[in-house]
Structures are given as C-alpha cells and as structure tokens.
Structure 1
Amino acid sequence: MLKRLWLILGPVFCAALLVALLLVFFPTKLRHDFEAEKRSAVTLTAASFKGRMQKVQALTDANHRFVPFFGSSEWLRFDSMHPSVLAEKYDRPYRPYLLGQRGAASLNQYFGMQQMLPELENQTVVYVVSPQWFTKTGYDASAFQQYFNSDQLTSFLTQQEGDAAAHHAAERLLQLYPNIAMADIVKKVADGTALSASEDQFVGLMARINKRQDIFFSSLIPSYNRHYDQRVLPELSRLPDEFSYQELEKVAIEEAKEHTKSNDLGIDDKFYKKRLKAKLRELKGAQKNLSYIKSPEYNDLQLVLNQFAKSKANVLFVIPPVNEKWMAYTGLREDMYQQTVEKIKYQLESQGFTNIADFSKDGGKPYFMQDTIHMGWLGWLEFDKVVDPFVSNPKPAPAYHLNSAFFSKEWANYDGDVKEFGNK
C-alpha cells in the first residue's frame, strides 16, 4: 500500500521539494548584460510589466543608465520617432525603460514601484498621465488584476508605513481584488491597525519566497524578444546618421503621409482598418456624454505622487492630447478635456511637481497623433524635444509638499474651480 502511494505521490512530492529548494537556494544576485537589458526595456508584455527581476536588473546596471518611463499603451505605438528608437539610433547616455500596458493606470504603477523602491531613489523619471484614465467609475477590476501579482502584494506590505497612502492603497486593493491573498492583513492596513509580530514575520517570509520565485521564473524568459528585433531595429535605418530635428521632421512627415492614406482622420492605416473601420458609424457621437472630471483615479494618482516624493525622484509628467478630428467625430468635449487637464495639473503643481509637458492642446496638429489618443511621428518628436534634455541632464528632485486632501472623495468628485478647492 505504501509502495503504491509512493509511486503515485512520490513524483509530486519530489517535484514540490525541487521547486522549494530552487526557491530557497536559487541565486538572487543579478548579472548585467546590456544587450539583454536593452531588450527587456522594450519587452512590452504583461509578464515583464508586473515582474521584478528584469526591471531591477536594468535599473541597477552601473555601466548603463536606464530611466523608468511610466505610462500605459502609448509605449506600444512604435514608429521611427519612438523614444526607444531615437535613444538607440543616437546612442544616448540613457535608454528608456518602458513600464506600461494597455489598460494600466496609476494603481498598477504604484504597486509595481514597490518592487523597485531602491532603484527609484533619487532617480530621474518620465510619467505619462493620460486623462482617459480618469473615468467616472475608475479602474476596472479585471484590468487591475491582470497586472498585479503576489510579489507586488508582499513588497507593499513589508514597506508600507501605516500612513494615508498605505490606507488608501490597501482600501483600493480590497475593492478591486476582494479575494486577494492575505486579505485579513490587507484589511488591517486599510483600517490603520498595526500588524502583530507573527503577521510581520509571515509577511516577511512570503516576501522572500515571492522575490525568489519572481527571479527564478523571470530567468526562464528569453532575453531576445520580438519587440526589440521587430519594432526597434527596423526603424533605425530610416533615420539620418547625424542627429538633426530638422531632418528628423522630414522623415516623420514622409512616414506619416505613407501610413495615413486610408482615412481623413490622420490615423494610422493599420489601426484604422483593424480597430475602427467596421464600427465607425456606431462611434459617431458616442463620447458626447463622457467626462473625466470626477474619478477615483485622482486619488490613485496621489499614491504615485506620494511614492515619488518619498523616493526623492525628479519627475517629468507628460499629458497627451486626443486626436482633434476624432474628438469632433465622437463628440468628446474639448472644454471637459481641458478642465480635466487643469485638475490634474493643479494636483501636481500645488505639491511641487512642476515639471509638466502639456501636449493636451496639440491634437489638431498634422501628423502629431498616430491614432485616436496616442502620439506618433511629429508628436513623438515634440515629446523628445522636452524629454531628452530633462533626462540627459539629471537634477535633484525639487522640494515636494504633499497634501493628503488629494486622497479624499471630495477631491475625486470635485468639478469646480481648482483654485477654489485650494482655498477651502
């Protein structure tokens, strides 16, 4: 009987023991390989976005400077003027490390940051904040969950300081992931209750296991991926050998003309044919009642600002526009969009985050947008004119002065003059 049980369960037990030994003894010291790191910097997959090892490996390379570029789906819009392409072609003293995915917003970015806090310390950062994130109901639970993992959870729990940011982050976790592991511990953080000694020990143990597990499984991911080979390398030959914005503008216009022949909206042909053409009629006027002014996303953005302030990161915030022709076609109100931008900028500037590249009024410029809401061609070129000098010449972070009122529902739902809110 025992022999039969062993024949059935023995292989399972041995496999589990092997995995456990690997997690305990697998080396955590990271080796640096610039070729692998610059490929991981453009590996725009869900696994790379929510993982730890690859981004920490690049950001700790003392011989090559990788700079976090936080955002969402705009990084997927590759053309010859994409920031990763320009950095590679002209061998700049930095490489953008792209952190974003379609549907990701501030909450996912905040929890991803918990995996790389030492690497954020005194770092120069670019953060694209899209008004489209600020929907009335806020983050969709399924969108959040697909970019969240156990390593982010235990990283947060071991580093949270019991302050307003920790309370809000824990509350949002429970809202968007009610069946999350260690929900009782997360609830204690949300309630402001100190963890017991045994709970602290348990969280610490799980954090070590999750970290090793992430490093082990990340090491199995091939470093040579299609994103770099198929989206960066082919663009390099289209660019002039000598850097010149004047010459780059000629290339951008020529490329944009070649890729926007199928429609009069200035949208990339492939995107138009695949995503819009079949349902164009039903989208006419579809956004006339849409508003970004009231949203829980303002509170989530405050989480990110708190973390940047704690990490003394010097951040350039980029606010993108909407394609003006698309805005008119769908009925999206320009006045509403600009009110949203002003609300975002007030939240930033009033707390000392004054490095802002506001492109929100540029959506009507020819060849500025690649599709409905994402910059491309001349848009990327204007992006580069602001971002490159900021990143190439790093400076210490300014003095930040955080305001916990931005975690309030009152601010999330505020639709008046932002200056009046500040006087309350």
Structure 2
Amino acid sequence: MLKRLWLILGPVFCALLMVTALLFFYPINHKHNYTEEKKAAVSLNAEGFKSRTKKQEALSDPQHRFVPYFGSSEWLRFDVVHPAVLAEKYDRNYRPYFLGERGAASLNQYFGMQQILPELKDNTAVYVVSPQWFTKKGYDSSAFQQFFNSDQLNSFIANHQQDAASQYAAKRLLQQYPNVAFQSVVTKISQGKKISGFDQSLNQFVSHLVQREDALFSNLATRTNGNYDKKVKKRLQDLPDQFSYEKLEEIATAEAKVKTNNNDLGISNHFYNTRLKMKLKKLKGFQKNESYVQSPEYNDLQLVLDQFAKSRTNVIFVIPPVNAKWMKYTGLSQEKYEQAVQKIRYQLESQGFTNIADFSKDGDQPYFMEDTIHMGWNGWLAFDKAVNPFVTKAEKAPTYHLNDRFFSKDWAQYKGTPDEFK
C-alpha cells in the first residue's frame, strides 16, 4: 500500500522539493537594463504594481533616475503630452515610474511601498490624491485584493513597528482581507503586541521564497506590455525638438479638439462612445447627493503620510479636478468637492506636507480634462509646470510633524471646518 502511494505521490513530492530548492537559491540581483526598466515604468498593470523586482531594479538604477509617481487610473490617460512622453522626449534627469491603476488607492499604495522602502529613503516622489477615492464606505475589498500580494504582506510584517500606523494598517488589512496568510501575526500587530521569534523566522523564510519567485517570473509582466512602444516612443515624433510650453499647448489643444468633437462635455470620443453614450440619460443628476467629506480614506491617506515621513521622502501632492461640465450634468456639488479638498489639504499641510499642486478648481479650463475625472492635454501641461521643477531639483524633505489623531474615526467622519477639529 505504501509503495503504491509512493509511486503515485512520490514524483509530485520530488517535484515540489525541486521547485522549492530552485526558488530558494534563485538569484535576485539582476543587471540593470534601461530599456526594460522604461517599459516596466509605464506597464501600468496589476502584475507590475505587485512586482518587487521590477520596481527595485528601476528605482535603484545608479545610472538612470526613476521617480515613483503614485496614483491610480489617471496614469493610463496617455496622450501627446503625457508625463512619460515629455520626460522621454526632452531627456530629463528622471523618468516617471508609475505606480497605480484603476482601483488602487492609499491603502494599496502603502502596502506597495513596503517593498521599496530603501528606494524611498531620502528620495523624491509624486503622489496624486483623488477626492473620488474618499467615498463614505471607503475602499472596496475586491479592488484592494487585486493589487495585494504575499510579498507586500511579508514586507509589512518585517517592517512593522509597534506604533499607531502599523496597528491601523493591520486592522485595515484584516478588514479588507479577513483570510489573509499569517492572520494570527497580523492580528497581533493590530493589537500592538510583539510577534514571536518563530513568527519572524517563518515570515523571513516565506519572504525569501516569494521574492525569488517574483524575480523568476517578473519579466512576464512587462514583456507582453506594449505601452512604452505604442504610447510613449511612438508619440515622440509629434513633439517639437525645442521645448516650449507655448508650442506644446498648441499641439495638445489641436489634438484635444479632434478627439473630443462628438460630444458637448469635453470628453474624449473613445471614452464617450464606450463608457457613456448608451447610458447618458440615466446618469443625469446621479451625483447630487455625493460627498467626499466623510470617508475612511482619510485614515488610509495618513498611512501613506506616515511612511513618507519615516522614509524622509520629499513629496509633491497633486489634487485633480472633475470635468466641470460633467459635474454640472451629474449634480455633483462643487462646494462639497472643495470641502473635501480643504480637508485633504489640512491633513497634509498641518503635518508639514506643503508641496501641493491643487488643480481642483480647474475643471472648466479648455481641454484640461480627458474624460469625466481624469486630466489630459492642457491638464497634463499644467501638471508638468508644477511637478517637473520639483522632481528635477530633487531637494531634501522638509521636517514633518505627524499627528496620530488622523488615524481616528472622528477625523474620518468629521465634516466641520478642518482647522477647528479637536
């Protein structure tokens, strides 16, 4: 009986041992390849977001400076003056490395940061804060899980501290992923308890395997992605060799006119045809009761701020607008939108994060938006005027003054004047 069982299961067991051995000894120190790094920087898919190897390879390249641009679906709005196109065409002293896609918000960004803490330390970053993230119910668990993986978990456990930030992060992780691996360890962290030596050793062992698995398979995430060739490299010929905002605005405006000519909302034809046209009547006034003032996202944002402060990262925060015509059509209150922006700004500025490019009132500017909520064309040029000088200078971070009160439910639900919050 045992012999028959071995004949059946033996090969499987041996194969598992071989795979484990391969992963355990697989090297993770790859040579830097600038072309591949540029492709990874604009891949903008869930696999690229979760891959530690790809991010570390680019962000640690000693010969080429990649800067993390944290955000969500706005990075996918490629046009002739997209940040990646401008940086490549005019050979700037940096290249943006885009982190985020539709559905990614502050909680995902925080756990993703755990994989690249050495690369964040004393460096520069760009962070888009979209008020649309700040819904009453907060982050959807399925969206969170899409961008979360084992390596982020292992990194968080290895990096955590017995402080308010780690406790809050662990609690949020258990809410979004109740059956997460190392559940008992995450629970201990959420309770402010010290984890055992065995927990640390087991986490380190699993982390060792997971990182090597990522190193082995990470190239698949970018080799099949054609964003760099199709959406960046291909557009370089459309820009003048001599940099000029005046000329760039002419080119951007001309392109925008052609690509938004089938509707009265200033929305790209493709977005209008595929996402809005068939259901436009049903969407009239649907946001009249929407507000972004009360949301657990304010607490999640504090996690990101806490990590930037610990890493001494100098950050510029970008606050995008909503298409003004779309706002009027759907009934979204400009007053409530600005109230949310003021709350976000207070949370940033009161803690020393004073580098802010606030475009929240620019949704009515000509060809500033590509669709309902995402900047494009002249919006990207305004973005570039604020962000490029900041990133180019690469100055040291200011002194931050963190306030753990921003982790409280009271702050998440607060809807009064921000500077009167007690």
* TM-score (normalizing by structure 2): 0.98
- Do the aligned partners of 2:20 and 2:209 also contact (CA within 8 Å) in 1? no
1:260 to 2:263 alignment: no
Runs of 4+ in 1 over 6 A off after TM superposition: none
Task: Give aligned pairs, total.
Answer: 422
Cross-structure match for 2:355: 355
| Matched-pair contact (CA < 8 Å) for 1:36–1:224 | no
The residue correspondences of 1:72-87 to structure 2 (distance < 5 A) are 72-87=72-87
What is the CA–CA distance in structure 2 between the aligned matches of 1:281 and 1:233, rounded to whole Å?
39
Map 1:102-251 → 2, pairs under 5 A: 102-223=102-223, 225-251=225-251
Deviations 1:275-305 (Å, cap 9, x if unpaired)?
0000000000000011100000000000000
Tell me which moved more, 12-21 or 166-175.
12-21
Q: Following TM superposition, by how much is the alpha carbon of 1:235 offset from its aligned partner in structure 2, in angstroms?
A: 1.3
Q: CA deviation at 1:4?
A: 4.6
Provide the residue aligned with 1:404 in structure 2. 404
2:94 is aligned to 94
Map 1:302-313 onto structure 2 (within 5 A): 302-313=302-313
Cα pair distance change 1:134/1:222, threshold 3 Å: closer
Structure 2 unaligned blocks of 5 or more: none
Q: Work out the CA distance in 1 between the residues paired with 2:180 and 2:187.
A: 11
Q: Which amino acid counterpart does residue 366 of structure 2 have in structure 1? A: P
In 1, distance between residues paired with 2:118 and 2:17? 32
Shift in Å at residue 118 of structure 1? 0.3
Instruction: Give me the whole-angstrom Cα distance separating, in 2, the residues matched to 1:300 and 1:222.
Output: 29
Which blocks of at least 5 consecutive residues in structure 1 are unaligned? none
Alignment partners' CA distance in 1, 2:222 and 2:384: 30
Deviation by residue 1:338-397 (Cα, 9 ceiling, x = unmatched): 000000000000000000000000000010000000000000011001111101111000
Q: Is the 8 A contact 1:39 1:224 kept in 2?
A: no
2:391 aligns to what? Answer: 391
Superposition map of 1:330-369 within 5 A: 330-369=330-369
Q: d(CA) in 2 for partners of 1:21 and 1:5? A: 24
Q: CA deviation at 1:8?
A: 2.9
- Secondary structure in structure 1 of the residue aligned to 2:394: coil
Q: Distance in 1 between matches of 2:241 and 2:247?
A: 10
Deviation readout 1:213-252 (Å, 9 max, x if unpaired): 2222214445463111111122111111111111100000
SS in 1 for 2:125: strand
Q: Which residue of 1 aligns with 2:13?
A: 13
Inter-partner Cα distance in structure 2 for 1:224 and 1:178 = 33
Taking only aligned residues, the RMSD between alpha carbons, in angstroms, comes to 1.1
Q: Structure 2 vs 1, CA of residues 284 and 38 (structure 1 numbering), >3 Å: closer, same or farther?
A: same
**Greater alpha carbon shift after TM alignment, 215-224 vs 70-79:** 215-224
In 2: Cα distance, 1:415 partner to 1:201 partner: 45
1:355 and 1:222 map into 2 onto residues whose CA distance is 32
Q: 1:260 to 1:220 in 2, by over 3 A?
A: closer
- Deviation for aligned residue 1:155: 0.2
CA contact (8 A) 2:39 2:222 kept: no
**Structure-2 separation of matches of 1:221 and 1:325:** 38
Aligned counterparts of 1:194 and 1:420: Cα–Cα separation in 2: 36
Q: How big is each residue's C-alpha offset from its partner over 1:188-220, in whole Å with a ceiling of 9 and x where there is no partner? A: 100111112212222222222222222222144
Cα distance in 1 for residues equivalent to 2:361 and 2:220: 44
- Note the alpha carbon deviations across 1:147-202, whole angstroms, 9 max, x for none: 10010001000110110000000000011111111111111100111112212222
Please say if residues 338 and 360 of structure 2, whose CA atoms lie closer than 8 Å, have aligned partners that are also in contact.
yes
Distance in 2, Cα, partners of 1:145 & 1:298: 20
Q: For 2:3 and 2:218, how far apart are their aligned partners in 1?
A: 37
Q: Tell me the percent identity.
A: 63
* TM-score normalized with structure 1 length: 0.98
Deviation digits for residues 123-144 of structure 1, max 9, x if unmatched? 1000000000000000001000
User: Could you say what secondary structure the match of 2:97 adopts?
Assistant: strand
Amino acid at match of 1:227: N
Answer with 203-212 or 68-77: which moved more: 203-212
Q: Does the residue aligned with 2:92 lie in a helix, a strand or coil?
A: coil
> Aligned-pair distance for 1:13?
2.2
What SS is found at the alignment partner of 1:237?
helix
Larger CA deviation: 401-410 vs 233-242: 233-242
User: Which letter maps to 2:126?
Assistant: V
Give the drift of 1:30.
2.3
**Is the 8 Å Cα contact of residues 316 and 355 (structure 1) preserved in structure 2?**
yes
